[in-house]
Amino acid sequence: MMKNKKKILLVFISLILIIGGLCLYLLLNRDAFITKIINSVVALPDVVFSDTFALKLLKGYGADFLWATSFALIIQAILWLRKKSIWYLLFCSVLGIFYELLQFLKITNGTADMLDILIYVIGSTFGIIILLGGKFYEEK
């Protein structure tokens, strides 16, 4: 019973991270269709579209970070093999590298970016840290 509650919690947290990433991706991109609609109804402040370093970083990599973290959590919820958490990190990271390779080879749309790979690894690692934190809490 407890394992099911944990899975539900992981899926719920993952959904929040996915939605958060989607909001970042859509709302911080001036050219996104949904952003144009929102901006026509409620004028978004210019700071949302500014080109500061922090905002560029958030726009370019924030959503990827949240999505990589949620992916690691979802994999954990599906497989639920407690003793092999490092394999989830490797699996999520390899998939991120594979996706960037597909972009590099022009098989998919997008631009291959080494920093994206780093963000996938960091996001997956963050997911694993969340999972390990839960384990430490249970053991006390």
What residue segments make up the domains of the chain, in order of their start? 2-139
Q: Which of 130, 24, 32, 28 is nearest to 67 (CA)?
A: 24
What average pLDDT score do residues 29-57 get?
75
pLDDT of the residue at 49: 67
Band (pLDDT 50/70/90 cuts) for residue 82 is low
| Range of lowest pLDDT (91-95, 112-116, 127-131) | 127-131
Q: Is the pLDDT of residue 123 over 70?
A: yes
Answer whether 0.75 is exceeded by the pTM: no
Percent of the chain with pLDDT over 70: 82
Question: What's residue 47's pLDDT?
Answer: 65
Average pLDDT over every residue of 123-133: 78
Q: Which of 1-5, 16-20, 26-30, 115-119 has the lowest mean pLDDT?
A: 1-5
Please state the rounded mean pLDDT for residues 48-64.
77
Q: Rounded to 5 degrees, what angle do the CA atoms 34, 75, 101 make?
A: 65
Residue 139, pLDDT > 60, answer no
**Please, which pLDDT band fits residue 137 given cuts at 50, 70 and 90?**
very low
Q: What is the pLDDT of residues 8-27, one digit of tens each?
A: 777 788 888 888 888 887 77
